[in-house]
Amino acid sequence: MTYSKGLHILAEIDTAVIEALTDYAAAKLLLQKIIEKHRLTIVSEVFTNFEGGGFTGVYCLTESHISIHTWPAFERVTYDVFLSNFRNNNEAIVRDIYKELVTFFQPTGLNLNELYR
């Protein structure tokens, strides 16, 4: 068995949907649904709203991780979706999660990097 590189998508989004940046509840609910849909396995989750604005959310998965950091003062969110291909090829799932989050944050600007690692 050889190592099959997993897709890691890193996005930076500008958005006017400030309420999506100031509280993690809606983003977490969305991610829960997506994780269930794709039958990914949660190891642990960390979601924290920061006083004064913004939140950090991380789902640690057996398949790797999803992380979100928001900056409402800058109307900005950065997020990563990284799934290994250890048991299955998860590339299409990474792309789906990326797209679901794009739909959620309604970008006015978007920068994207894709790495295989």
Which of the stretches 4-12, 17-25, 28-36, 95-103 binds a second copy when contact is defined by CB under 8 A? 4-12
What is the nearest approach in angstroms of a second copy to the Cβ of residue 105?
Answer: 15
C-alpha 54, offset from chain centre: 15
**Residue 32 is a binding residue for a second copy (CB under 8 A):** no
Say if strands 7-15 and 76-83 run parallel, antiparallel, or are unpaired.
antiparallel
C-alpha 61, offset from chain centre: 12
Nearer to a second copy, 48 or 106 (CB): 48
**Residue 87 is a binding residue for a second copy (CB under 8 A):** no
Footprint on this chain of a second copy (rule: CB under 8 A): 1-3, 8, 10, 12, 43-44, 46, 48, 50, 56, 58, 60, 62, 64-65, 67, 69, 71, 73-74, 76, 78, 80, 82, 84, 86, 111, 113, 115, 117
